[in-house]
Structure 1
């Protein structure tokens, strides 16, 4: 559709104004009613768009992190394409393009724009299924372009009216997509162990695993003061609730019992601590069992990228949260510090799901 229907535009404008935090109880009740009314919306209709736009206001039990991030829209987009790697890269680029437009309009932070441009340029160098680079970012048909437009429009809703929250929210979106891409590719490597393709796939995965580090390079343009200016508005929307992140770690390392005390607090994460996912068959286990020294060396390179990411995540917590408790009820930076170094995990044979996870 060339333009959003008036009913959708109104809901977009309502959420975009001063941020979702400023919505009244009457507004929220109206949006919840629209969501309930459009529950059985056929694909490709105005009602489906209304349903996507209003899911964060549904009356069912949804963790705050998922209400805040609207990850259901990313799942909707990815479900509409058979090539998950291409679709994930396109979704990342679309989110970053939207953020770039927001930053250009504000005209405040040239360094942030430089870092965004570098990240988008890097996306175009990433390997794809049939070649060394990803031309998929520049060859999008009309149907996919429309789906990307919907994805961007239905996910860009900060809670506050603070400009800097845009970079935080879009960074979360791109990281969530990266977690999924890493998990998806890890499954492909596990399936290929014992074949010549395993080395190529693992090298590709190593490059994907560097994406969260590059996203954090952009995110570091936030000052602690600007971060704290909107943190309260995000409420209990803690990244510790991210199902994609924990599934990624299961796929890479297997079950880590140290995380159980936090994961069991959340009903949607509790299955990760129980059979069958507790016995996840990890990439680390598959590489170790292969006895292939080439794969073992490639795994170490991958592990270094991920170690850097966890260290930077901890560093972010130290810089931006200091001694403040994490929004998910954790110890904040101290919680992150405990997981910078991964411990050996018991192995199992359960495959880790590879669909994009949302609540």
Structure 2
């Protein structure tokens, strides 16, 4: 048995690579409430993972412009896996009571998850777009510029529909040529195209695998929204949100905005 190196002049290579000193300093609670560190760490983990999701969705949108679908599908599958981790990260907060939350809520000031630029860009990349929501970040030119670029570019779903059209499926010209900054409107022909994919193809087929990966991402993202709503309702009921939104009712409205709508409705036709 070979003994590992146990002698280092300064921090271990592991600590230097991972940046453990920086990570330990990150939570920075502002109160003595014992629940605040978990709230901060959970939020920070989500920010890191939304960064990973954004990277994969950007990559997938580029790769879908090539004839080879599996690399794009793999990137989408990785994004779905990251969303699974983000959803699990809610667990430390899902028993946060109003009294516990109120003990540190004033320290948030006007801070709110509503203001996360990374979350908002992921939302835009998935096709749920709103120019007004990008305005929150005008004071941060880099974040604002990235959000505007995502707003004006075709979403992942727009690009996926272009793939269907490229492979001979009937997609309306108005859908393919629409302004990608505007909210997406479902189309019966798109629904029929996805229904054909599921009726005629199966596991191992590249287009079927793409459809399933897209569904996994949509489901993971909608689950995140649902879990967020449940944590908010449990911790603060129907109070106004720290960022000035209507709190739980704002989140309830977001659940009505479906991601990749025809991928879900097509299942009824099969």
TM bucket by the smaller chain? 0.5 to 0.7
Separation (CA, whole Å) in 1 of partners of 2:237 and 2:10: 47
- Asked if the contact 2:218/2:259 (under 8 Å) is kept, the reply is no
The answer as to 2:211 corresponding to 1:338 is: no
CA displacement 1:55-110 (0-9 Å, x = unmatched):
xxxxxxxxxxxxxxxxxxxxxxxxxxxxxxxxxxxxxxxxxxxxxxxxxxxxxxxx
User: Aligned to 1:290, which of 149, 153, 163?
Assistant: 163
Structure 2: runs of 5+ lacking an equivalent? 1-8, 165-206, 261-270
2:168 aligned partner? none
- Asked if the contact 1:210/1:305 (under 8 Å) is kept, the reply is yes
- State the aligned residue count: 205
1:319 aligned partner? 234
Using structure 2 for the length normalisation, give the TM-score.
0.67
Alignment of 1:161-240 (within 5 A): 161-193=32-64, 194-195=67-68, 196-240=70-114
Separation (CA, whole Å) in 2 of partners of 1:221 and 1:152: 24
User: Aligned to 1:278, which of 130, 151, 154?
Assistant: 151
2:22 aligned partner? 150
C-alpha change, 1:177 and 1:325, in structure 2 (3 Å) is same
Using structure 1 for the length normalisation, give the TM-score.
0.51
Separation (CA, whole Å) in 1 of partners of 2:250 and 2:160: 29
C-alpha change, 1:141 and 1:161, in structure 2 (3 Å) is closer
Alignment of 1:65-144 (within 5 A): 141=14, 143-144=16-17
C-alpha change, 1:312 and 1:198, in structure 2 (3 Å) is same
Note the C-alpha offset of 1:331: 0.5
Moved over 6 A (4+): none
C-alpha change, 1:265 and 1:178, in structure 2 (3 Å) is closer
Separation (CA, whole Å) in 2 of partners of 1:158 and 1:299: 37
C-alpha change, 1:204 and 1:273, in structure 2 (3 Å) is closer
Note the C-alpha offset of 1:281: 2.6
Note the C-alpha offset of 1:310: 0.5
- Asked if the contact 1:263/1:272 (under 8 Å) is kept, the reply is no
Separation (CA, whole Å) in 1 of partners of 2:76 and 2:146: 27
Greater relative contact order (CA < 8 Å, ≥ 6 in sequence)? 2
Secondary structure of 1:210 counterpart: helix
Separation (CA, whole Å) in 2 of partners of 1:198 and 1:275: 23
Structure 1: runs of 5+ lacking an equivalent? 4-138, 346-359
Separation (CA, whole Å) in 2 of partners of 1:288 and 1:225: 48
Separation (CA, whole Å) in 1 of partners of 2:256 and 2:234: 19
Note the C-alpha offset of 1:322: 1.2
Separation (CA, whole Å) in 1 of partners of 2:149 and 2:40: 33
1:34 aligned partner? none
1:159 aligned partner? 30
C-alpha change, 1:268 and 1:295, in structure 2 (3 Å) is farther
Alignment of 1:295-310 (within 5 A): 295-310=210-225
- Asked if the contact 1:254/1:279 (under 8 Å) is kept, the reply is no
C-alpha change, 1:238 and 1:142, in structure 2 (3 Å) is closer
Which structure has the larger Rg? 2
The root-mean-square deviation of aligned C-alpha atoms, in Å, is: 2.8
Secondary structure of 1:327 counterpart: coil
Note the C-alpha offset of 1:333: 0.8
Note the C-alpha offset of 1:332: 0.8
Note the C-alpha offset of 1:218: 2.0
